[in-house]
Chain A
Amino acid sequence: MIPSLFDYKRASSAAEAISLVTEYGEDAKFLAGGHSLLPLMKLRLAAPSVLVDIGRLKDLSYITDAGSYIAIGALTRHMDVETSSIVKQHVPLLACAAGHVGDPQVRHRGTIGGSIAHADSASDLPATTLALGATYVVQGASGTREIAATDFYKGFLESALRPDEMLTEIRVPKMNGAGWSFQKFNRRAQDWAIVGVAAWRGNGGSGVALVNMGSTPVLATDVATALASGASVADAAELAAAQADPQSDLNASAEYRTHLAKVLVRRALEEASK
């Protein structure tokens, strides 16, 4: 399968990339690792007329300890997030989730920023960074702004990113030793999650987010609120799908997903509470 025709522009800086998409407008798309965008283009579900390749902006591939949070450049590949000693030490839930994206070949190419900007609720990293209370830094023609993960996901493959804005950095608060768990239920190892759960608990708080339980990743605040008011893990997990709106598809019915979410949230919280 071959994508439809497009013009290819290779950016040598973030500023040049932003100026190119500003010039070409909404028909232009950023190309990072290409592992979300190219499959859609091959299926002709996406047909941008211009691809702005940002894959060589090595200055946007980094992982640094910024004190209270870990700063990850948007073009950092999943493999580098998965194996980073800084991420494993301070945000082990994210390292684990990054290691569950696709398969090794996909993780060699796909980037954390590409996955988040694509805003697919079935992807592992949007929900995981949402559970962790991450902030996304975006750069546009009119400057830089920060968007909380809780304000970022707007609908199916829709985010708060404006057409001329590029995600440049992901800031993930350190977990400070909190317990955590990543649960991914699928039929084949490399598949998308039928339902997934990213959860942490400790230091007087908790965070639970759901993969593939609606058109956006879902932050299950009802679960966290129940835990904070003393509910048991089993009782809190019953609220797992209360804020979700799962779809039925070839893999699972909405009812089955709702059931799975409760089971997986319970398992995740049991593991995170150890």
Chain B
Amino acid sequence: MKISVTVNGQTHESDVEPRTLLVQYVREDLGLTGTNIGCDTSSCGACSLHLDGEAVKSCTVLAVQADGSQVTTIEGLATDGKMHPMQEAFMQNHGLQCGFCTPGMVMAAIGLLNENPNPTEDEVRIGLEGNLCRCTGYHNIVQSILACAKGGK
């Protein structure tokens, strides 16, 4: 089926099988492998990206459902070689260990601040309920997000 999806500002006209998952589409058809596949069962959040401005789990969305939509992946955050403030905050606060969950965490975190720009620590922790860190490095992830919110970015 023919679909048209705008990913990180660039519109792609593609022909996909209806069963193609959105995460497969961005990774395999578009070569954007920053979005990871972790559990593949909509539990871990590693595949989180933004669909029309909201964080979703792309392992549980069909590419055909994204037809006509705007998608932002981790690769689309930096502008002019400068990292997104959330990426910067993760770097400054050591918000990652092995890094596997990080793209999903960053996308979920940006979605969280879009909906609640000044969250409490508890709200950050609850807001991240859909993202698992296999290193259990939650403390610094939460600190990173709070720092980004405090920076007003």
Contacts and interface: CB of A to CB of B under 8 A. Distances in A.
Interface stretch (B38-46, B71-79, B80-88, B93-101): B38-46
B125 to A, nearest CB: 9
A5 B112 CA distance: 35
A8 B130 contact: no
A109 B60 contact: yes
A8 B55 contact: no
Contacts of A5: 17, 19
B121 interface: no
B127 interface: yes
B43 A105 contact: no
B61 interface: yes
Given A34-B61, A34-B65, A106 B19 contact: no
Most buried by A among B18, B21, B24, B55: B18
Interface string B21-54: 1001000000000000000111101001001001
Chain B interface size, as a band, is 20 to 34
B48 A105 contact: yes
Contacts of A105: 42, 45, 48, 55-57, 108, 111, 130
A108 B18 CA distance: 21
Interface in B86-129: 108, 111-112, 115, 126-127, 129
Contacts of A250: none
A106 B130 contact: yes
Contact of A35 (B20, B54, B60, B127): B60
Interface string A100-112: 0011111011000
A38 B51 CA distance: 17
Contacts of B18: 6-8, 51
Contacts of A41: 19
Interface of B: 1, 17-21, 24, 40-43, 45, 48, 51, 54-57, 59-62, 64-65, 108, 111-112, 115, 126-127, 129-131
26 contacts: A2-B19, A2-B20, A3-B19, A4-B19, A5-B19, A7-B18, A8-B62, A31-B62, A31-B65, A34-B62, A35-B42, A39-B41, A42-B21, A42-B40, A42-B60, A55-B65, A102-B130, A104-B111, A105-B48, A105-B108, A105-B111, A108-B54, A108-B55, A108-B56, A109-B56, A189-B126
